[in-house]
Structure 1
Amino acid sequence: MSKETKAQRVERIKREKDGLDVFADIYRYAKSGEDIDPEDIDRFKWYGLYTQNTNLQEREDKTLYFMLRVKLESGRMDLNQLEAALEISKRYARGTADFTTRQDLQFHFIRVEDLPAIFSCLSEVGLTTAFAAGDVARNVVTCPVSDVDKERLYDVEAITKEVNDYFDANREISNLPRKYKVGISSCPKHCASHEIQDLSFNAKKSEEGEVIFDVSVGGGLASNKRIASHIGYIEPHQVLAVAKAITEIYRDYGNRENRNRARLGHLLDALGVEQFIEILHSKVDFRLQLDDVQKYTPYVNREHFGIHKSINEGRSYIGCAINGGKIGAEGLSGLIKIAKKYDVTAIRATTAQNFVITDLPSENAVFVVEELKEMGIDAEPSVFKARTLSCTGINFCKFAVSETKDLAAKLVEHLQRKFPHFEERLSFSVNGCPNSCAHPHIVDIGLLGCKVKRNGESVSGFELVLGGNLEGDKSSFGRKTGIKFAADDTFRVVESIVESYQGSHYKNFYDYAYGIIYE
């Protein structure tokens, strides 16, 4: 008998036991202490669990530790949820806590025996890990200030909740061909980055002045490195129906033979856009509308930093930057103290691993900004810190070959000292492996983890990627330059790129990067 392929193994595992059914097994393993079936470990993903790297583990410690990802719907955390997250971080996760690019919160050093207590703690404050990972619909990303921004086109809170509720632990769609990422936004700055979502809905004004949502399909990174295709417009009340229909199309038509060709974008390419739309139309009782494709904000400017007046009288919101989402127990504790002191009711994580304090009395805003700065959190971040992403890295991720989060923070500090008068905002990604968790192909300067040879030895390093940008049909993925270097040469290499740009004739970094690659 021939050996199972990776795809065959995964599909068999899902057929034999739905990923949602592993929940009871998690409790059984927690109570019994027995070794976990490797196939159940794969199913653990349906509840946000991944085995983590042993890089920071003591040699004598044989514990199987997990990373746990918690879904934050619309990126939102109220005070009770912040306090629950702090409790989990301190008691069960060795002080770890990171915001992700899907507006989730993840912890490390999680033991199976602690999961019942953790799940109970999360449930008490309305949080869940279900569908935070696995071959399912992941957390629906959205603009963090949709409900408070004076410039929003439409409040998408109710629509986003409808779609999240449809996805929530839904057994009809608990076995998709691969992961499936959806975004819904009315943000005038397009901060949900629809271009790299499997499915997204973006509000715009029609020629008649009515709000409609453009539907974009098939975006992605890694094996599905593809800018989403715009397929038409719908009315706000039709978003849920289209989300259901396209999810079912993906479930029923998606490739289950090759996991590297199994994302929705691959299906769109296989069917062709016209046939895909025909199938969609057969599943709904309306047709997509035609209208001009809207213009989009360049990726580097998709943010909400600083103090802004809310639509709610006397209230404000504050956009804040942290380094690579690394908030930790100390940061959570600081946020809770600020919230209690200044009447902050909630924060929301962003798709750039930052967060927004979404509701506080306007008279307290300046004081909050000052206290955040003492914590290393900036409401007016430098041009280097504002748009810097970093993945989990070698400390915890089994796929990574290079450390990321600490390096990203130190790189920002170095560039701030070296170029104090640099004015153009640049976007960075420090990615610990050849995959795309930190989105290295959509930023100005991407560092793609790899092994490099130095003095005959293989050491952790990076390959330089330049020239990524998201801007609707003007989007472009960054290109590998072929420049590879050891991790401890990162400052020198990035510094030399910035200096080279400053000495060039180019008026912006994107044109400079394009020239470097193609000239």
Structure 2
Amino acid sequence: MKKETAAQRIERIKIEKDGLAVLEDIKQYAASNTEIDPEDIDRFKWYGLYTQNKNLQADTDNTLYFMLRIKLEHGSMNTPQMRCISQISREFAQDTADFTTRQDIQLHFIKVVDLPEIFKRLNNVGLSTVFAAGDVPRNVATCPVSGIEEKEIFDTTSLANEINDYLRGNHELVNLPRKYKIGISGCHKHCIGHEIQDLSFTAVKIDGEVLFAVTVGGGLGSNKKIALHLGYIFKEQVLDTVKTITIIYRDYGLRDSRRKARLGHLIDEWGLEKFKAFTEEKLGFAFIEKPIQEYMPYARREHFGIHKSTIVGKSYVGCAVNGGTIGSYGLNNLADILEKYNASTIKVTNTQNFIILDVPHENTEKLAKALLDINIEANPSPFKARTISCTGINFCKFAVSETKYQATWLASYLEQRFPDFDEHVSISLNGCPNSCAHPHVVDIGLMGAKVKDEEGNSVAGFELILGGNLEGEVSNFGFKTAIKILPKYLNRTVERIIEQYINSGQNGLHRFLKENIENENFIESLREVWRET
């Protein structure tokens, strides 16, 4: 009998058992402590669980550990929820906790035997892991300052709530061709990155009227595409459009290959015009045709610092965390600080940072100072602000390189080397080619790869990608330089890039990189770092 392909296997196991039905199996495995069926392990993803790499596991430890992703709708987490996750991390996850680029939080070293208790505690504070992973709609990306930012185009909070209510644990959407990412934002900085969502709605004001630009088919990894513009709709049409396009994707998405199963691949197969016409037919209305708007460059899409809120007497405070790593003690200490200064809630951003939403005006400076004691900054350097990293080899089975420590070390090194640098710069460290940390859309992307060391041995390192950017219709993916870097030379290589930019006298790092990615002298100067060290 012919061996199943990866796609055939996944499609079969999704048909044989509803992914949400695996919860009962989890409970049984926890109670019996028996070996887990490998196909159930795949279904565990529907509850936010992935098996993790054994890189930090002792040779004598044969425990099957999981990463657990907790879904934070709107990226929101209040102080009781912080304390709950902190305690779970301390008791069951070896103090681990990381913010993600999907505005979630994830833990490591989770054992199946502990899952019923973990799920119970999360449920008690209004949190869930359902649909945090798997072939389902993932967390809806939203602007973390929706409803409180003075310059926002439109408060999309209620629209996001409607979308979440439709998607949340929806049994009709339990078997999509692959993961499916939706975003909605009225942010004037366009911070959710609509260009790389499967489906996104971006508020714009045209001739004094608020409309939503609908874009489809974006993604990274095997679906590396900039989303395509379908047209505009009114706010009352957003939910129907979500429902219609989601069902089209469910029913017509390509399932023969895992690498060709995202919404963007269906649009490639059909062509944009056919997809648009089919969607309009199902919707019963046509997309509005207006000129495509301009958007904020990727590196400037941030909300750091202290800002006056639209809520009387309140400010919001945008904070940076090293590589998204917060840990159990960081969460608990953060909750302490919020309660001390009469704040209650944070929202995680898609750059692994967070916003404190509701700080009384008179407490903002004292709160910001207290945050420094736990290594969280309200006025971060450009390097700490926008250096993001994926899970890396310590926990991810796909990664070839360590990222979390390397990212923190790099940001600290650049802060010391360029203390007066005050321009926006985006940096990503990704442990493998799957693009979880978005290395193709940042100024300086570092993607995990095998590298030859000085003795000719193949070891973990990074490939350098330069000049990526998200900016609507003029977005571009970064240029692969073919430069591969040993981790010990990484800081100096990035330093050389910043040095040459400063010495060039040009205005704008992104422009400098785009103009020099084919400059042989520039590229060779980066290769020379090895020989000089």
What is the TM-score with the length of structure 2 in the denominator? 0.96
Deviations 1:398-442 (A, max 9, x none): 111111011101100101111112222211001111210000000
Correspondence list, 1:327-342, <5 A? 327-342=326-341
Does the alignment pair 1:498 with 2:498? yes
SS at structure 2 position matched to 1:385: helix
SS at structure 2 position matched to 1:324: helix
Match of 1:265 in 2: 264
Match of 1:127 in 2: 127
Between the aligned partners of 1:154 and 1:282, the Cα distance in structure 2 is 28
Correspondence list, 1:243-392, <5 A? 243-392=242-391
Between the aligned partners of 1:456 and 1:444, the Cα distance in structure 2 is 30
Deviations 1:313-360 (A, max 9, x none): 101100001111101112101111111111111000001100000012
Between the aligned partners of 2:424 and 2:167, the Cα distance in structure 1 is 37
Between the aligned partners of 1:281 and 1:515, the Cα distance in structure 2 is 41
AA partner of residue 172 (structure 1): E
Between the aligned partners of 1:55 and 1:252, the Cα distance in structure 2 is 39
Between the aligned partners of 2:422 and 2:80, the Cα distance in structure 1 is 39
Distance of aligned partners of 1:505 and 1:368 in 2 relative to their CA distance in 1, 3 Å threshold: closer
Deviations 1:13-39 (A, max 9, x none): 111111111111010101100000000
Correspondence list, 1:471-510, <5 A? 471-504=471-504, 506-510=506-510
Give the superposition deviation at 1:507: 2.8
Match of 1:511 in 2: 511
Deviations 1:116-153 (A, max 9, x none): 00000110011110000000100001000102111122
Give the superposition deviation at 1:505: 5.2
Between the aligned partners of 1:53 and 1:62, the Cα distance in structure 2 is 12
AA partner of residue 271 (structure 2): G
Match of 1:21 in 2: 21
Give the superposition deviation at 1:517: 2.0
Correspondence list, 1:157-306, <5 A? 157-207=157-207, 209-306=208-305
Between the aligned partners of 1:348 and 1:334, the Cα distance in structure 2 is 16
Does the alignment pair 1:410 with 2:388? no
Deviations 1:477-509 (A, max 9, x none): 001100001111111211122222223353322
Q: Where in structure 2 are there 5+ consecutive unaligned residues?
A: 520-533
AA partner of residue 5 (structure 2): T
Between the aligned partners of 1:292 and 1:320, the Cα distance in structure 2 is 35
AA partner of residue 383 (structure 2): F
- CA RMSD of the aligned region, Å? 1.0
SS at structure 2 position matched to 1:20: helix
Correspondence list, 1:430-469, <5 A? 430-454=429-453, 455-469=455-469
Between the aligned partners of 1:237 and 1:437, the Cα distance in structure 2 is 33
Match of 2:527 in 1: none
AA partner of residue 437 (structure 2): A
Identity of aligned residues (%): 58
SS at structure 2 position matched to 1:180: coil
Between the aligned partners of 2:55 and 2:277, the Cα distance in structure 1 is 50
**Bigger shift: 191-200 or 498-507?**
498-507
Match of 2:156 in 1: 156
Give the superposition deviation at 1:456: 2.5
AA partner of residue 322 (structure 2): N
Match of 1:55 in 2: 55
SS at structure 2 position matched to 1:384: helix
Between the aligned partners of 2:117 and 2:509, the Cα distance in structure 1 is 49
AA partner of residue 75 (structure 1): G
Give the superposition deviation at 1:292: 2.0
Deviations 1:45-100 (A, max 9, x none): 00000000011111111100000000000000111111111111111111110110
Distance of aligned partners of 1:184 and 1:7 in 2 relative to their CA distance in 1, 3 Å threshold: same
SS at structure 2 position matched to 1:296: coil
Between the aligned partners of 2:27 and 2:332, the Cα distance in structure 1 is 29
Between the aligned partners of 2:355 and 2:185, the Cα distance in structure 1 is 16
What is the TM-score with the length of structure 1 in the denominator? 0.98
Give the superposition deviation at 1:157: 1.0
Correspondence list, 1:136-151, <5 A? 136-151=136-151
Between the aligned partners of 2:473 and 2:518, the Cα distance in structure 1 is 20
Deviations 1:168-199 (A, max 9, x none): 11111111111100001000000000000000
Correspondence list, 1:71-110, <5 A? 71-110=71-110
Q: How many residues align?
A: 518
Between the aligned partners of 2:310 and 2:482, the Cα distance in structure 1 is 48
SS at structure 2 position matched to 1:503: helix
Between the aligned partners of 2:419 and 2:155, the Cα distance in structure 1 is 39
AA partner of residue 188 (structure 2): P
Q: Point out 4+ residue stretches in structure 1 off by more than 6 angstroms.
A: none
**Bigger shift: 320-329 or 276-285?**
276-285
Does the alignment pair 1:36 with 2:40? no
SS at structure 1 position matched to 2:50: strand
AA partner of residue 295 (structure 1): E
Between the aligned partners of 1:423 and 1:345, the Cα distance in structure 2 is 31
